[in-house]
Amino acid sequence: MNTVNPILFLVFCGITTLALLIVLNLLLPVKVEQAGKKLERQPLRCLVIGLVALGLSFAVLLLLGYLINLPIFQTMAKDNEPYLYALHGWGRVILTLLLILLGLSLISISAIGLAALANSLGQRIRKADPSSNSKLIGATLLVLSGLVPILGWFIVTPVSICIGFGSTIQTLFQRSTNPKVLE
């Protein structure tokens, strides 16, 4: 019975990730398409930007996590209980909410890029079989390759997340090609 639970958990995670990638294609087709164009043109640049951006994001997450449990807050609260203790409680709640919000935003930004990566894989497969549903096949291929033990967990998934995050960051912060001049 103990060996069934992790397997069921992996299957459930795979199915929900597959559904997320398909739903993102339906809800945000323009952003996914733009991220896919960035991904196909410059995959190495997407990987480097994703590594740097994720590294900085995790550093901010660690800093917020450290601030939530910062010992100086506890000593300050003991000195003047009525004011600083209340501030300490609300400060901890706000930092915790900020930590959760930042983590969820990292996941959602990475998911847009992963949907673009799945589309790119699906389009390459579609060239061989034009009758296939490219988005579904690409998403399935990406999810199943990430579930492969050792190779998928430690190489495919982190690289895919970094590439997806980098392509989405480039898409969200791209400069306009035709700036509008206000007169």
Predicted pLDDT of residue 75: 54
138 contacts 119 by C-beta, under 8 angstroms? yes
* pLDDT value for 83: 40
Q: Give the per-residue pLDDT at 10.
A: 85
Angle, to 10 degrees, between the axis of helix 43-68 and the axis of helix 157-172?
90
For 173, phi then psi, to 5°, come to -110, 30
Structure tokens at 15: 């199915």
Q: How far apart are CA 105 and CA 116, in angstroms?
A: 17
Q: Which two tokens stand for residue 174?
A: 């791209």
Q: Residue 89 is encoded by which pair of tokens?
A: 């409680």
pTM: 0.80
Contact indicator for 73, 85 with CB cutoff of 8 Å: no
From 136, 145, 91, select the one nearest 115 (Cα to Cα): 136
- The pLDDT, as a whole number, for residue 11 is 86
Can you give the pLDDT of all 183 residues of the chain as single tens digits? 566 688 888 889 899 999 999 999 999 999 999 999 999 999 999 999 999 999 999 998 888 777 776 555 455 545 544 443 444 667 777 877 888 898 899 999 999 999 999 999 999 888 877 777 889 999 999 999 998 889 998 999 999 999 999 999 999 998 766 656 665
> How far apart (Å, rounded) are the C-alpha atoms in residues 134 and 130?
9
Collect all residues with Cβ–Cβ distance below 8 Å to 114 and sequence separation of at least 6.
Answer: 21, 142, 160, 161, 164
6: burial class by Cβ within 10 Å (0-12, 13-18, 19+)?
Answer: exposed
Predicted pLDDT at 183: 58
